[in-house]
Structure 1
Amino acid sequence: MHPDSPEESSAPRPTGTRRAVDPRRLRADDLRYLLAVSRTGRLVTAADALGVDHTTVSRRIAALEKTVGVRLVERGTDGWTLTDIGRAVSEDARAIEEALNRVVDRAAGQDSPSLHGTVRVSAPDGFGTVFATPALVRVRRRHPRLQVELITATRQLALHPSGFDLALVIGVPSSSGLVTEHLTDYTLGLYASDDYLALHGRPRTVAELREHSLIFYIESLLQVGDLGIERHLPGMSPAFSSTNVFAQLEATCQGAGIGVLPAFLAQRAPLRRLLADEIDIRLPITVAVRREAVTHPAVGVVRAALRHEAAERAAELTPE
């Protein structure tokens, strides 16, 4: 069996009429396995988080599906995702998990139960490193029993999102499984090193940019439409491209060309802003929370910390 393939389950597909389930047949512990797959989107990763092997995860979810008589997970384009019923069950399961953690705290003599569990955050490379990381570190200091995971990638969210509790995305995602809110805007501009300008000269107009090497994302691999260079600099294409914004920043510092970079990164480097009046790209950062995770206290704390970070450092994101 492939390590990320669940066992075949005898659970039927949901239909209009479902048989009644005896609550006494449900094993609350099986719900932990469903929660782990909900958070990670992969059986192997869920198994690592639970300290078991992937076959155990597969077997326990299959047993849970058989008990409730419906499919709870299904194969997606990027791992495993929960069905609509699975998401509803997962939301209820999270409440059970939180109640168990409170029992542990009470038994340990803690009058004010601390936050437990795992919150997985997905964010673009640059924003995730420079803004999300400090916010998450502060959350961990206040709640040391909370596990926080940060995945950095500049990508669009799947139609049926999985593998995260909260995501920071460029633009505005559209998915019925997400609750979204605008977090902040950020600015991208043109930047170059002194060495590059000394060797190649400084472009005085947008038309003169065609005589220079641009640095940006690999267009064919870029999954975020709002970042497409054709949208902001029609007819131009990068001479040096990377899927990683930090590689773009380094290439710009090394004099490989003119970088189309976030201001919050470029201003930390010895770079010159070019054509600021003509090229001032502003894009939104959206917070997207999986619908079943919205009421989770830890997700709420992380969400608030990200709002605070963005508000406190707004001048870095959209400098005058």
Structure 2
Amino acid sequence: MDWDQLRFFLELARAGRLVIAARRLEVDHTTVSRKVQALEKKLGMTLFLREPDGYKLTEAGRDLLPQVEAMESAYVGIAQSLTPGSDQQLSGLVRVGATEGYGSTILASQLTRLSQRHPDLKVELLAVPRALQLSRNEADIVITLERPERGPFIITRLTDYSLRLYASHGYLAQHSPIHQREQLKGHSFVSYVDDLLYSKELLFLDEVVKPARTPLRSTSILAQQQMVAAGAGLAILPAFAADQNRALVPVLPDAIHFTRTFWMLMPIELKDIARMRTTWNFLREQAAQLQSTLLPEHG
């Protein structure tokens, strides 16, 4: 049996779409189609139903899948036992999706180190101001604000993180001092675009104050941070990002602070793939090492 053809079958079974399987295998989608068709011809059976929303396994395909997964596990085990330090030889593509702030501020440097550690590994970072969907195969590993209630996923609580109220030194110098919450009412605020808010976990401004003025809004937390740094007003920002900007200073840090959680998800069918497992463990380790940055002390 040709393992090369079988691995194409396995990836298409996991992805459900040619273009996603091709991305993970780093080939053209026509190559995936050709390999799977060759396997079906060799076996004399149809393994997939071609439907408008993707490829679905037939009964024959479902019977074959666990056998091929066992072959994959055996292959990985043999490779690691025969090659000293084989973990350093990871190759293939991993796509990591994350919230914009965490992805740009934290993951960008972490994934650079991962890439340097595994030169043959290719990593794509999707750092976007919206929720990514594992069910749509938008990414292999997703870091999100909301824990899904159901789904065939491996889920871990990656880390908690702090948010505070911030303003620029320049803004505070031009306005009366803020010593208590009641003094916030007359100030300008920067916030999210309400009808484009992608997570209820980002609803916290109303818990602080009913702002009289919100002249600037953005779907991007990093854009909000730049607006505040430029003197637009006050905003609630993640401390791991805002504390790196010398133009910003926390306002009422002892009284106004929030804690939110990042969850990390991965489809169950990817858990035994060496590059996915290594990336998953690496991100957990890195988050654990950054607790003082993610959860700074108040005050």
Q: What CA distance in whole angstroms lies between the structure 1 residues aligned with 2:70 and 2:281?
A: 20
Q: Are 2:258 and 1:281 equivalent residues in the alignment? A: yes
Q: Is the 8 A contact 2:98 2:128 kept in 1?
A: yes
Partner residue of 1:218? Answer: 193
Partner residue of 1:253? Answer: 229
The percent identity for this pair of structures is 31
Q: What CA distance in whole angstroms lies between the structure 1 residues aligned with 2:142 and 2:278?
A: 14
The unaligned stretches of length 5 or more in structure 2 are: none
Partner residue of 2:249? Answer: 272
Partner residue of 2:158? Answer: 183
**Deviates further, 142-151 or 54-63:** 54-63
Q: What CA distance in whole angstroms lies between the structure 2 residues aligned with 1:174 and 1:89?
A: 30
**Secondary structure of 2:150 counterpart:** coil
Partner residue of 2:285? Answer: 308
Letter in 2 for 1:288: L
Q: What CA distance in whole angstroms lies between the structure 1 residues aligned with 2:214 and 2:143?
A: 26
Normalization by structure 2: what TM-score? 0.77
Q: Is the 8 A contact 1:184 1:284 kept in 2?
A: yes
Letter in 2 for 1:294: K
**Deviates further, 155-164 or 220-229:** 155-164
Letter in 2 for 1:196: Y
Counterparts of 1:91-110 in structure 2 under 5 Å?
110=83
Cα–Cα, structure 1 residues 62 and 198, in superposed 2: closer, same or farther, change >3 Å? farther
Counterparts of 1:103-142 in structure 2 under 5 Å?
110-113=83-86, 114-142=89-117
Letter in 2 for 1:146: L
Higher strand proportion, which one?
Answer: 2
**Deviates further, 284-293 or 64-73:** 64-73
Normalization by structure 1: what TM-score? 0.73
Q: Matched residue pairs, number?
A: 289
**Counterpart among 280, 288, 291 of residue 268 in structure 2:** 291
Q: What CA distance in whole angstroms lies between the structure 1 residues aligned with 2:80 and 2:121?
A: 13
The unaligned stretches of length 5 or more in structure 1 are: 1-23
Cα–Cα, structure 1 residues 220 and 43, in superposed 2: closer, same or farther, change >3 Å? farther
Letter in 2 for 1:281: F
Partner residue of 1:201? Answer: 176
